[in-house]
Structure 1
């Protein structure tokens, strides 16, 4: 399981990407298409058209890390439909872990969790 600090966001690109792209090409997509800073320390997740390959770009300690996984059989199942008009969808670390393990989350139901009440504005 991925253990990431809560400050790290995971951006899943909603459009397929040419998997020949590497560090520079994917960081350019993160900046121009996803409109995020690739040097932020957040994770950027890209799939190919057939969703049998994934690449994750991450900036860490002065350099890019690139993780990739190619399935020999089958395809990755995304946790929810991706809107076509947005550049990216934010995932939770648990969703990314399950997605990489091949678990289909479409039929799963998230149980309600406690959330702190919204802060009251002081005026």
Structure 2
């Protein structure tokens, strides 16, 4: 995985209440940190039970 290829890396805590997104910008790395107070994140499942999940940019973008 080449960080400068435009890939985004997502980190979610066990409670699904915090999210970190790491990606490469032309000037360096960018990080977004989101903490949910009353909501939890809905993470899509790949069915294998693996803690690592690969999602496409279409799934990760705003709708």
TM-score range, shorter chain: 0.7 to 0.9
Q: CA RMSD in A?
A: 2.1
- The normalised TM-score by structure 2 is 0.72
Structure of greater Rg: 1
What is the distance in 1 between the residues matched to 2:3 and 2:10? 11
Match of 2:45 in 1: 81
Flag the structure with more relative contact order, 1 or 2, with Cα contacts below 8 A and sequence separation at least 6: 1
* Structure 1: runs of 5+ lacking an equivalent: 1-35, 99-123
Structure (1 or 2) with the greater helix fraction: 1
Structure (1 or 2) with the greater strand fraction: 2
The size of the alignment, in residue pairs, is 61
The CA deviation string for residues 19-74 of structure 1, in whole angstroms up to 9 with x for no partner, is: xxxxxxxxxxxxxxxxx222322111111111101111110113000011110112
